[in-house]
Amino acid sequence: MQVILVRQKCFSVFGWLIRIITGSMYSHAAIMTSEGVVYDSSVKKCGVSKQGLLSDAFGKREIMMFYVDCIDDDVDKYIRETIGMKYDYKGVFGWFFNAQDKKSFYCYEWVHNLLVYTSHVEKSRDRTDANDLIKILSNSSYVGPANKWVG
């Protein structure tokens, strides 16, 4: 599995707010399964969903990828359990108001909880952002445009 952090090339108010709030250059997180399929929790799709292939999902946007060694069945089970869950707007705004909904996920929260589920992190956090994921994963396997990645 690969954890993907995405940097928006075009201006997006929501992406800009996330970068400002979290102090990160990355405004989105997703995962790519060993089959090359991308999943995430996004505002655009209103929650956890399948995005398709990497180049289709993120095009020319700059990404940072981290390889995570885990059992495919665990990843697949987590995806099945969370697919279709709503986007956690309260969690995003929880950075200010400490409000979260345990039945919905914002992108960083969804990826972080997958790392907990696959035993790469000990426990879930109330607030997670791109900087936290970078610290947890530490060694990136690729940095550059999504459409230039060769797996």
Quick: pLDDT tens for 38-86. Answer: 999 988 888 999 999 998 888 888 898 999 999 999 999 999 999 999 9
All structural domains of the chain, each given as residue ranges with its CATH number in brackets, are 2-148 (3.90.1720.10)
Spatial contact of 133 and 5, defined as CB atoms under 8 Å apart: yes
Predicted confidence at residue 96, as pLDDT, reads 55
Spatial contact of 124 and 20, defined as CB atoms under 8 Å apart: no
Residue 23 has pLDDT above 80, yes or no: no
> CA 143 to CA 130: how far, in whole Å?
14
Predicted confidence at residue 108, as pLDDT, reads 87
Q: Predicted confidence band at 32 (pLDDT cuts at 50, 70, 90)?
A: very high
Quick: pLDDT tens for 80-121. Answer: 999 999 988 777 666 555 556 678 888 888 999 999 999 888
E strand intervals along 15-129: 28-32, 37-42, 47-53, 62-67, 86-87, 104-105
Question: In what helix (H) or strand (E) does residue 84 lie, and over which residues does it extend?
Answer: none
pTM: 0.85
